[in-house]
Amino acid sequence: SAWGGDKIVKSPYKNVEIPNMTVNDYVWQNLDRWPERTVSVCPVTGRGYTYEKAFKLSNSFGANLRIKFKIRDGDAVAVMLPNVPDYPLVVMGILEAGGVVTTVNPIYTAYEVQRQLQMSASKAIVTLPENVKTIKDALQLAKLDIPIIVIKTNGIAIPEGTVCFNELSEDGHVDTSVLKQVRRTANDICILPYSSGTTGMPKGVELSNRNIIANCEQINEPLVACHNETTATHQDSVMTILPFFHIYALSVIMFHKMSQGIKMVTLAKFQPETFLQALEKQRTNVLFAAPPVILLMASHPASSPKTYEHLEVVINGAAPLSPGDAERFLHRAQRTMDFRQGYGLTETSPVVTMTPRGLGDYSCVGRALPNTELKIVDDRLNSLGSNEKGELLVRGPQVMRGYRQNPQANADSFTHDGWFRTGDLAVISDDGLVTIADRLKELIKVKGFQVPPAELESVLRDHPEVADAAVVGVPHASHGETPKAFVVLKNNAKTDAQNIKDFVKERVASYKRIEDIVFIDSVPKSSAGKILRRVLKEQYC
């Protein structure tokens, strides 16, 4: 049995060593084995970089961040980009400069960008021309003035009042010895993504170099690994449709694949035909996916056995998979593939469990990675046993240091003996297979993306005619879940549902939009003032 007498589930795998270094040193450590290999390429524009070129350009960019923009060790730099092939150069340059990367969703509105720039105290932001207007609006809202660094991708001049990334990263034009001043160690923070965790507004998740490197090493365990070694005659190629701004792609794809000399085929937009064509034409053999991608491959008319001729490994994560979709996809592909699943959170860098090769069970999320311990507890944190349903707790080197400047959230998220509370309801079998049963936390996931109810409630309460509001997630056929709002209007309010929807639409990214509003007289709350979401769900959903 995987269970110890102490009701702790240990990983079945041998512990891995975690090298004591920074992520940038880790990623580049084997550079001399594959300098001429492609690191990233866009199948639509053909733009891309070799490993050596990416290293050199990121060095120049990093040096300029220190010289021209006075970025110092620990300063946050925001990255607001779709999956362009330059993404790894930008991220690595920031890390080499000693900075901390905070990734921003490129479809965020000015309100959302403003909040993240303020909370992270970002000293600069890197983006594309089409996002400059949103960023300028955000800086105005925040009364901030930071440099906007813009990547020139098609020869067209960059907007006025911005700095050109391509000039900052040009090789040989800057003395990169300034990078020797950087003093970053394994325990320093390097990535600062935002997550709401179990409750409340998005919070900065402090991930250290050690957290990220641990997770890269943990997924190298032979029974869960999904790659062939890069050699003189072979290079794996990964389809990168999942956004780099989310920790799943940033960590599991970018950092891990670069440490292994793998090629990333980057797609900036989720267009079904382009994606399916690229799978076929680019001969990608590995695909990391979320449930909407699996659904697309299972059902799109252009999805055929030819599309998947080169595909060997598919890994799902980020939200509950429908096993039926997995089966329908495999049936479409007419090919034996290594189809697996991972589970984790932004707070765990992200991978906690992974299904082993050949398991063929699409309803579970596999076993604990090396160096990782699990526990199932009831609502009083008492340990439960195998096949008993309760909250999943995690201990391991991939677990974040904590939420930035938020002692209350940290106190709520960790037990006194150092276990991280996932807020997920799970069951673990005798032999250590984990099945996620439900989400205990208030977080809503739309197409695998976080939609924190507290964030939408705060937007709703900003509406001049709204007195109070509560938001819950309801099941949705293709998105997994969708937010549903309960609104209490002020006395004599003249507004209607459409007006409120439009108000929200202006302030949040498209996947957070509210389609369904119910007007109620008062929001049910506990004596402590906590919204009783379950009451709303039971009464109206």
Residue nearest to ligand AYL (CB): 342
Closest to ligand AYL by CB, 463 vs 533, is 533
- Is 195 a binder of ligand AYL (CB under 6 A)? yes
Task: Answer for the pair 342, 314: CB distance below 8 angstroms, yes or no.
Answer: no
- Is 204 a binder of ligand AYL (CB under 6 A)? no
Nearest residue to 118 via CA among 147, 76, 88:
76
The window from 161-169, 210-218, 343-351, 367-375 that contacts ligand AYL (CB under 6 A) reads 343-351
Closest to ligand AYL by CB, 392 vs 531, is 392
Q: Token pair 């970089």 is at which residue?
A: 49
Q: What residues contact 232, with CB distance under 8 A and at least 6 apart?
A: none
The type of residue at 480 is: G
Tokens representing 169 are 């990263």
- Is 342 a binder of ligand AYL (CB under 6 A)? yes
Nearest residue to 79 via CA among 208, 246, 216, 213:
246
* Phi, psi values for residue 356, rounded to 5°: -75, 160
- Is 346 a binder of ligand AYL (CB under 6 A)? yes
- Is 116 a binder of ligand AYL (CB under 6 A)? no
Closest to ligand AYL by CB, 439 vs 484, is 439
Which of 54, 128, 293, 319 is in the footprint of ligand AYL by CB under 6 A?
319
- Is 252 a binder of ligand AYL (CB under 6 A)? yes
400-439 footprint of ligand AYL as x/- string (CB under 6 A): ----------------------xxx-----------x--x
Closest to ligand AYL by CB, 107 vs 144, is 107
We find the least distance from the C-beta atom of residue 216 to ligand AYL, in angstroms, to be 12
Enumerate the H helices of 152-262 as residue ranges: 165-168, 209-218, 247, 256-259
Residue 452: count other Cβ atoms within 10 Å of its Cβ: 24
Total interface residues for ligand AYL by CB under 6 A = 24
Q: How far, in Å, CA of 113 to CA of 132, rounded?
A: 11
Q: How far, in Å, CA of 524 to CA of 530, rounded?
A: 8
We find the least distance from the C-beta atom of residue 162 to ligand AYL, in angstroms, to be 30
Q: What residues contact 239, with CB distance under 8 A and at least 6 apart?
A: 265, 267, 275, 278, 279, 282, 284, 286, 287, 288
We find the least distance from the C-beta atom of residue 246 to ligand AYL, in angstroms, to be 6
Closest to ligand AYL by CB, 195 vs 303, is 195
We find the least distance from the C-beta atom of residue 319 to ligand AYL, in angstroms, to be 5
We find the least distance from the C-beta atom of residue 498 to ligand AYL, in angstroms, to be 30
Residue 455: count other Cβ atoms within 10 Å of its Cβ: 22
Which of 151, 267, 294, 345 is in the footprint of ligand AYL by CB under 6 A?
345
We find the least distance from the C-beta atom of residue 137 to ligand AYL, in angstroms, to be 26
Which of 85, 344, 452, 483 is in the footprint of ligand AYL by CB under 6 A?
344
Q: What residues contact 329, with CB distance under 8 A and at least 6 apart?
A: 294, 297, 298, 303, 314, 339
Closest to ligand AYL by CB, 345 vs 399, is 345
Residues in 322-341 that interact with ligand AYL by CB under 6 A: 341
Which of 3, 194, 248, 275 is in the footprint of ligand AYL by CB under 6 A?
248
Task: Answer for the pair 148, 163: CB distance below 8 angstroms, yes or no.
Answer: yes
Please tell me the chain's helix, strand, coil percentages from 3-state DSSP, rounded to the nearest 5. Answer: 30, 25, 45
Q: What residues contact 98, with CB distance under 8 A and at least 6 apart?
A: 66, 71, 72, 73, 74, 75, 181, 182, 183, 184
Closest to ligand AYL by CB, 243 vs 423, is 423
Which of 276, 278, 313, 351 is in the footprint of ligand AYL by CB under 6 A?
351
Residues in 364-393 that interact with ligand AYL by CB under 6 A: 365
Three-state SS for 280-321 is HHCCCCEEEECHHHHHHHHHCCCCCHHHHCCCCEEEECCCCC
Enumerate the H helices of 123-208 as residue ranges: 132-142, 165-168
The window from 126-134, 276-284, 311-319, 495-503 that contacts ligand AYL (CB under 6 A) reads 311-319
Which of 350, 370, 402, 432 is in the footprint of ligand AYL by CB under 6 A?
350
Closest to ligand AYL by CB, 279 vs 392, is 392
Q: Which helix (H) or strand (E) holds 330?
A: helix 323-333
Per CB under 6 A, residues contacting ligand AYL are 195, 247-248, 252, 317-320, 341-346, 350-351, 365, 422-424, 436, 439, 445, 450
